[in-house]
Amino acid sequence: MSKPTLLIVEDEELIRAQLKCGLRDDFTLLFAEHAREALSALKREQPALVCLDLGLLPDPECAEPGLEALDLIMKAAPQTKVVVLTGNGGRGSAVQLGAFDYHHKPIRLHDLKVALQRAAYFQAIEADVEKQRAGEAATPCEGMLGRTSAMQEIFAVVSRIARTDVTVLIQGESGTGKELLARAIHSNSSRDRRPFVAINCGAIPDTLLESELFGHEKGAYTGAHIQRKGRLELAEGGTLFLDEVGEMSALLQVKLLRFLQERAIERVGGREVLRVDARVVAATNKDLKVELQAGRFREDLYYRLSVVNLTLPPLRNRAEDIVLIANAFLQRSDKQHRRKLRFGSSALEAIIHYAWPGNIRELENAVERGVLMARTKFIEARDLGIEVKNDPDLISLREARNRAERNALVDALAKTRGNITQGARLLAVSRPKLHGLIAKYQVNARDFR
Ligand SMILES: Nc1ncnc2c1ncn2[C@@H]1O[C@H](COP(=O)(O)OP(=O)(O)OP(=O)(O)O)[C@@H](O)[C@H]1O
Ligand SMILES: [Mg+2]
C-alpha cells in the first residue's frame, strides 16, 4: 500500500525538522510555512491529511493565523482530514471549524503518529464510500450496500437467480436487510412490473392468516360477508414475500406446501381449485434448522422453500461495511436536513465498536438521531445514543487492519469450506501466505469443512 500524503503546515524550522524525522517512514511529506503556501500545495498535490500548527506566528494581516489557515484549508479541501497542533487554546474553535483531531504541544511523536494514522484510515474509508457510490449502479440490489465477501456473494447469487422462478429463503437477524433483499430479487426478475405482496406471518393470528393468504368465499365463517382474494392471488404474476415464515402454524405449513407443489390453492370455504402463478420469497430471523429439529417446522416445506438459501450476516460481522453504510446514511439524512455534517472521530470509534444488535435498522436510526443531535459540524459519539460497552480505547491502525484481515480470512475459508487453494485464490494471496495468516490468527481451516 502506498503511504498517505501528509501536508505539514508549520513555520518553526525546528519543529518541521522534528516532524520530518519522525513521520517520513509512514507518510509522504509535504511542507508549507503559511496558509497561502498550504493552499497551493493542497491544490497541486491533494494530500489525504494536513497537520496544522494553530500557533503559526502572528501575521499582520489576520488576528489568528492558525484558525484562519484552518478555515481556508477546510473550505478548499473538505475531504482532507486535518489534525491540529495546539498550545493551550484554540482546540474548541478548531474542532468547530472542522478539524478531525488535535494534538497538544509539546509534540509526542508516537501519539501524533497514531492520531495521523487514524485520520488516514478514516479518510481512506470515506474515499472508498465515494468510489462505491459512483459504482453503485453495478450492484443488482439497489440501495443495498456491502463490500464484505459475504455480501458480494449474495449479490452474485441474486444476479444469477433473480430471473428464474425459484423459491428463495432469506435468513438473518432482525434488521439485516431481509425485506430489502426480497424486493431486490423481485425488481431484478421478469415479474418486476407485477405486484410485490408482503405478509408478515408472525404478526397475524392463525385463523386470520389463513384467509389473508388464501382468501375466503362469502359465508366461509361468521363475518365473511363478501368473497375476498388472498395475498397469494393478489401476487399473481409477481412475488409473494412471506416474512417470518418460521411462525406459521402446522396447518398453514401444510397448505403452503401444497401451493408450492401444485401451484394451486383453494380459498377458505371454497371448493374451486385456483391456479396461481406467484413466486415465493420467504424470510425468517429464526434458525429454521433448529425449528426442524424441534419438530416445529416441516422438513418437506423447508426444502421446498430453501431451493436457494441466502443468509444475511449480522452487521457486527461485517466490519468493513459498518462505516461505509453509516456514511451512506449520513449523506442521505444530511441532505434532508441540510446540515453538512460529518462524523467526528469519537462517533466513528463508537460505530466500529458497538455490537449493533438491531443491525442496519439500528444503525440507520442512530445516524438519524446523530444528525438531529449534533451540536457542531461533527456528529460525536454522545449524539448517536448508543452505549459502547467494550473498551473505550482507540484502536490503532494496526489493530483495525488485523481485524479486517482476520474477517476476510474467515470469510474466504467459510466460502471455500476450508479449501486452501481456493481460499488463497479468493484472497489473491499465495498458499504459503494463506498458511501464514491461518497461523497468525489461529484459525483452523478444518473447522470450515
Ligand atoms: N445492505 C444495506 N445497505 C443499506 N441499507 C440497508 C441494507 N440492508 C438493509 N438496509 C436498510 O435497513 C433497514 C432494515 O432493513 P429490512 O427491513 O430489509 O430488514 P429486515 O431483515 O427485514 O428486518 P426485520 O427482521 O426487523 O423485519 C431498512 O431501512 C433498509 O433499507
Ligand atoms: Mg423485515
Which residue range is the domain that position 286 belongs to?
141-311
- Domain end call among 99, 134, 169: 134
Residue 392, in any domain of the structure: no
**Within this chain, do residues 118 and 54 fall inside the same structural domain, yes or no?**
yes
pLDDT at 393: 54
Query: Residue 273 has what pLDDT?
Result: 93
Residue at 82 is within a domain: yes
391 lies in some domain? no
CB atoms within 10 A of CB 34: 16
**Is 390 part of a structural domain of the chain?**
no
pTM over 0.85: no
Tell me, using a 6 A CB cutoff, whether residue 184 lines ligand 1: no
DSSP conformation class of 391: -
Q: What kind and span of H or E run contains 408?
A: helix 397-415
Q: Grid coordinates standing for 255? A: 397448505
- The pLDDT of residue 338: 80
Tens digits of per-residue pLDDT, 373-409? 998 888 999 999 998 765 545 567 777 888 888 888 8
Looking at the CA of residue 200, tell me the nearest atom of ligand 1: 27
- For ligand 2, the distance from its centroid to the CA atom of residue 179, given in whole angstroms, is 5
The CA distance from 446 to 449, in Å, is 5
* Whether residue 170 has its Cβ less than 6 Å from ligand 1: no
User: Do the beta carbons of residue 242 and residue 283 sit within 8 Å?
Assistant: yes
Q: What is the DSSP letter of 271?
A: -
Q: What is the DSSP letter of 396?
A: P
> What tens digit of pLDDT does each residue of 187-231 get?
999 999 999 999 999 999 988 999 999 999 988 787 778 889 999
What does the pLDDT read at residue 137? 45
Domain boundary among 329, 363, 384: 384
Q: What was the pLDDT predicted at 127?
A: 76
Model confidence at 413, pLDDT cuts 50, 70, 90, reads confident
Instruction: Give the residue, by CA position, lying nearest to ligand 1 atom 13.
Output: 361
Question: φ, ψ for residue 433 (rounded to 5)?
Answer: -65, -40
CATH at residue 211? 3.40.50.300
Is 354 inside a domain boundary?
Answer: yes
State pLDDT tens for residues 87-137. Answer: 766 667 777 778 888 898 889 999 999 899 888 888 887 777 666 665 554
Same domain membership, residue 193 and residue 69: no
* Shared-domain flag, residues 366 and 253: no
CATH number of the domain that residue 84 is part of? 3.40.50.2300
Q: Are residues 406 and 260 in the same domain?
A: no
* pLDDT digits 0-9 by tens, 253-306: 999 999 999 999 999 998 899 999 999 999 999 989 899 999 999 999 999 999
- Looking at all shown ligands, the one closest to residue 327's CA atom is 1
Cβ of 145 closer than 6 Å to ligand 1, yes or no, is yes
Q: Which residue has the cell 434458525?
A: 287
Tell me whether residue 374 is in a domain. yes
30 with 13, same domain: the answer is yes
pLDDT for res 135: 54
Residues 275 and 415 in one domain: no
The DSSP 8-state label assigned to residue 446 in this structure reads G
Task: Give the SS3 label for residue 126.
Answer: helix
389 part of a folded domain: no
pLDDT confidence of residue 397: 76
Indicate if 163 and 83 belong to the same structural domain.
no
Claim to verify: residue 23 and residue 93 sit in the same structural domain: yes
Do 288 and 149 share a domain, yes or no? yes
Using the 3D structure, point to which of 106, 134, 162 is the last residue of a domain.
Answer: 134
**Whether residue 195 is found in the same domain as residue 293:** yes
- Compute the average pLDDT of residues 39-51: 93
Backbone φ and ψ of 85, nearest 5°: -100, 125
pLDDT at 177 over 90: yes
* 67-98 per-position pLDDT tens digit: 888 999 998 988 899 999 987 666 677 777 78
Do 68 and 30 lie in one domain? The reply is yes
Residue 75 resides in a domain? yes
Tell me: pLDDT of 138 over 60.
Answer: no
* Alpha helices for 162-272 (secondary structure H): 178-187, 206-214, 231-234, 250-262
Atom of ligand 1 nearest to the CA of 146: 1
* Residue 373, CA distances (Å) to 145, 337, 360, 385 in order: 25, 12, 20, 9
Q: Is 327 in the pocket of ligand 1 (CB under 6 A)?
A: no
Of the pLDDT bands very low, low, confident and very high (cuts 50, 70, 90), residue 337 is confident
127 and 146, same domain (yes or no): no
- Say if ligand 1 is within 6 A of residue 123 CB: no
Q: Count of domains in the chain?
A: 4
